[in-house]
Amino acid sequence: MTNKELNDLASRIVAKMMHLKTMEDWFEHARDSETAADDDYFSLELSEEYKAYGETAKLLTLLNLFQEDENYEVCAIIKRRLDAVNKILDKYDEE
């Protein structure tokens, strides 16, 4: 690797780290603000579609965890629930 390539790579890494630090600072500020109270989360009125996306993310995470543990009986249960949630999402894909 040449010095020019090394400097280019170093510049990219520093730029990426600065971007991540800026995002981290923004998140901490938003999280600590008075308008970001915990009970605000529970008062969100999410659509059925958004709830289904959230459920999908949760189920896929659980599926990965149980697959790693080789607990295939639980995976089958999660898979059935994923199929049900996917039917809900299919309804929104058709629109």
pTM beyond 0.75: the answer is no
Q: What is the mean pLDDT of residues 61-72?
A: 92
Q: Which residue would you say has higher pLDDT here, 19 or 76?
A: 76
**13 contact partners, CB below 8 Å, separation of at least 6:** none
Integer Cα distance of 74 and 61 in angstroms: 13
Residue boundaries of the structural domains of the chain: 1-44, 45-95
Q: What is the pLDDT of residues 22-58, one digit of tens each?
A: 777 766 766 666 555 556 666 678 888 988 999 999 9
Per-residue HEC secondary structure of 26-95 comes to HHHHHHHCCCCCHHHHHCCCCCHHHHHHHHHHHHHHHHHHHHHCCCHHHHHHHHHHHHHHHHHHHHHHCC
Contact 83, 59 (CB under 8 A): no
pLDDT at residue 39 in the model: 61
- Pick the range with the lowest mean pLDDT from 3-12, 14-23, 29-38: 29-38
